[in-house]
Amino acid sequence: MDDIPPYPPIDPTTFDLIVIGTGLPESIIAAAASTASKSVLHLDPNPFYGSHFSSLPLADLPSFLSSHSTSPSPPRSPSSDDPNEFSLLEFATRPLYSSIDISTFSPNLLDQHSRKFNLDVAGPRVLFCADKSIELLLRTGTNQYMEFKSVDATFVGDNKGNLWSVPDSRAAIFKDKSLGLVEKNKLMRFFKLVQGHLAGEQDVKISEEDLQSPFVDFLNKMGLPPKIKSFILYAIAMADYDQEDTGVCRDLLKTKDGIDQLALYNASIGRFQNASGAFLYPIYGQGELSQAFCRRAAVKGCLYVLRMPVTALLVDKDTGCYKGVRLASGQDIFSQKLILDPTFKVTLPLGSSPPLPLKEKLPFFSLKDDKGKIARGICITKTSLKPDISNFLVVYPPRSLFPEQVTSIRLLQIASNLAVCLPGMFVLYISALCNDDDQGKKLIHAVMNTLLTVPLDSESNAAVQSETAEIGSAVQDETSESSSGGPSDSGEEKPTLLWSALYSQELTLGQVDFICSTPMPDGKLNYNDLIDTTFKIFQEIYPEEEFFPETSLENPEVDGDASPET
C-alpha cells in the first residue's frame, strides 16, 4: 500500500458538477453533463473504471467484493483549516455485497493468469441489439470506443441438465426440434399477432382490456401450451417472478409490457447483419461500457481523477445547502451539483442536529432497499456447457429446478473470444432475485449442481456439496419418475468447475435530491431500466438541458461502426 502515489492536487477547485464513482449511471451522467457544456469532475476511489459495473481481473474481484461487504470507516478527513464556513458531514460506506463465497479448484492455473480475466461484477448482463443502451451508444457516438460480439442463442434449461433452444424467431421455430407442429403453428401465429398489433394493423389489434390484463392471462387466452408460455414469459419477455403464482409474484407482467418486451426482442434479432441473435456482449466485458462513457465525457472536457477517495460533504452552515466535497487529500472541491454512487451514505455528527434545511432533505439520503437482493455467481470452466456454441444465455424459469424456486435464474456463458478469460475457458454468470442470502445461494447452487461437476478438493467445497446435495435430492425426487428411461444428465460429461464466486448484492434504487445517488446494478438482463433512472436523475439536476442532444453527434457515420465485430 506504500506505493500509492500521493494524492494530486486538483485544479480548478470549483465545478458545475462533481460525480463520485464511475459506474455506468455516473459515467453516462458525466458524459451528458459534459456534453451540455457543464464543467464536471469525475472521481473514483478505485484505481479502475466502472465501480459496481466494472469488469475485474480474477484476483481483484474478491477484494473488491469484500471491500464493499463491511463498512470500513472511510479515511478520516485531515483537520480543516477553515471549518467555520461549512459543516462537515462524514461519508460512510454501505455494505452492498454479502455472503461472499470464493472457491478455487485450480489455484496454479488461475493465479498466474489473473490479469487475463475480465470478470463482470454485475453479471449476467447483455445488450439487446435494439435496446436503449444501444440507442444511447449510437446517438452519442460512444460505440466507437467499443467492440461487440453476438450472443449466439438463448436456451431454456430444465432440472435434468437439458438446454432447449428458444424458438424466438420464424427461422428458429422452423428449425426447432422440440416443438410439435401444432405448437409451432400456435407460437408463430402469436408472434404474427404481436407483430400485426405493433404495426398498427387494424384487424389484429389487441384490445385495451387485454393490454391491461396480466400477460400470462392473455397467453392462456391465446391457447398457448405451457411450454410455449414459459418460453415467452421467461426467455423472451424475461419476467423475473413466477407469473402464474400471484402469491409470490412481485412483478406481474401486464400484457402491454409483455408485448413491449417481445417487440424489443423482435427488433433486436437481425438488427445488425453480423449479429445472429438478439443480444450483444462487449469485448473485454461489461465494464467497457462505463469506461466508454467516461471517454466520451473526457472528450467533452470532463476531468477524471481515479484513486481519489472522498471523505466528507461540505454543507453551508446557515442554509444547509450542499457546497462541495472534501477529498482524501484534504482538498475541498466545490460544485453546484453532486452525484454519488450507491456506496456512500452520509453520517450525521453525533449530538449535533443538522441544519434545518438539511434535515428536511435528509430522508432522501437514506437509500431504499425494498427490492430485496440479487444473488450472483461467477463460474469458470474449461468446457462449454453446450458443444459447438460458446456464447449463449440460459434461462431457468420459476419452478424449473425445484418447486420452491419463485424467480427466474439466468445464466450467461461467455467464451474467451470475448477476451474475458484464458483461451479455451468459459465464464458463466448466474443471477437470481431473492429475499435473503440463503435463498439466493440455494438458487445459484441449484444451477451449478445441474450443469457442473464440482471437484472435491477444496476447503470451501464441503459447503457447496452439502447444499447442492440437499437440492439435488429434492430435484431427484421430483424427476425420478419421468427420467427413469433416459440417462439425461449422467450420459454427457458435465464441465468441471475451476473457480467460482458467489455473492449477494443489495438492490438499491437511485435517489433524486439536491444531491443525487445512482442505483446499483439491477436484476435485469439489460440496462434499460438503469438508463431510464439515469435519464431521470439527469433531468432532475439539469431540467433545462437536453440529454445528449442530436447535434452532439460528432461523426454522423458511426452507424456503420455500431455493428458488432464477428
Partner 1 sequence: MHGRPRKAPKPEDEAASSAKAQKLRALQTQFFTFHHNKIYTKEAVELSAKLLEINPESYTAWNYRKLAVEHYLNLPDCNPDSIKSVLDDELRVVENALRQNFKSYGAWHHRKWVLSKGHSSIDNELRLLDKFQKADSRNFHAWNYRRYVAESMKRSEQDELKYAEDMIYTNFSNYSAWHNRSVLLSALFEKKAGGFLLKEKVLPEEYEFIHQAIFTDPDDQSGWFYHLWLLDQTVTTDSPLLASSWPGHGSDVLLVGDRCYNGSAFSPFSALHSDSGSFPIVLYFNQPVGGVNSSTVTVECGFNKNEDLFWKPLSASNSQTARVWVAHLKVPSSDLHSTVEVSVGHSKGIISTRGFVYSHPSMFSFKVHVQPMERDSSQVSVAENISLREENFKVYGTQSEESIIDSFDQLIIKNGHETTASNWRFEALAKEIECFRELLSLVDCKIGKLTLARLLKAYDAMSYPFANKLVHSEEVLELYSDLMKLDPTHYQFYKDEHSIVLLQKYKDSASSAICDPICLRLNNLSLSRMGAFEKLLWVQMLDLSHNELQSIEGLEAMQLLSCLSLRNNKLRSLTTLEPLRKLKSLRILDISYNQIGDQSIDTTRYVCSSPLSHSVGSELNRDETVTSDVALINNWEAFFIFKDFNLNQLDIVGNTIADEKFKSVLVKIMPKLKQLDGKLLD
Q: Measured from the CB atom, is 185 or 466 closer to partner 1?
A: 185
DSSP structure class, residue 417: G
Q: Residue 162, by phi and psi: left (phi above 0), alpha (psi -120 to 50) or beta?
A: beta
Identify which of residues 76 and 189 has a Cβ nearer to partner 1 in the complex.
189
Tell me the closest approach of the beta carbon of residue 175 to partner 1, in angstroms.
5
Distance CA 342, CA 21 (A): 9
**Closer to partner 1 by Cβ: residue 178 or 366:** 178
Whose cell is 488461475? That residue is: 110
Min dist CB 169 to partner 1, Å, is 10
Q: How far apart are CA 530 and CA 122, in angstroms?
A: 12
Q: How far is CA 523 from CA 64, 291, 422, 527, in A?
A: 20, 21, 27, 10
Report in angstroms how near the CB of residue 277 gets to partner 1 at its nearest. Answer: 13
Query: 416-430 as b/e, with b when 16 or more CB fall inside 10 Å?
Result: bebbbbbeebbbbbb
For residue 428, the cross-strand partners are 379, 413
How far is 7 from 467, CA to CA, in rounded Å? 46
Tell me how far apart the terminal alpha carbons of the chain are, to the nearest angstrom: 41
Q: Which amino acid is residue 408, in one-letter code?
A: S
Q: Which is nearer to partner 1, 100 or 198 (CB)?
A: 198
3-state SS, residue 432: strand
Q: Which is nearer to partner 1, 203 or 544 (CB)?
A: 203
Contacts of 546 (CB under 8 A, 6+ apart): 36
Q: How far apart are CA 278 and CA 332, in angstroms?
A: 47
Closer to partner 1 at the Cβ: 190 or 402? 190
Least distance from partner 1 to the Cβ atom of residue 189, Å:
7
Q: How far is the CB of 180 from partner 1 (least distance, A)?
A: 9
Q: Which three three-digit cell numbers place residue 514?
A: 439536491
Strand partners, 148: 282
Closer residue to partner 1 (CB): 128 or 190:
190
Contact between 454 and 444 (Cβ < 8 Å): no
Shortest Å distance, C-beta 158 to partner 1: 23
List of residues contacting partner 1 (CB under 8 A): 170-171, 173-175, 181-182, 184-186, 188-189
Q: How far is the CB of 96 from partner 1 (least distance, A)?
A: 45
**Least distance in angstroms from the C-beta of 185 to partner 1:** 5
DSSP classification of residue 424: T
Q: Looking at beta carbons only, is 84 or 177 nearer to partner 1?
A: 177
Shortest spacing between CB 566 and partner 1, in angstroms: 14
Q: Are 478 and 285 in contact (CB under 8 A)?
A: no
Is 196 or 372 the residue whose CB approaches partner 1 more closely?
196
**Are the C-beta atoms of 541 and 513 separated by less than 8 Å?**
no
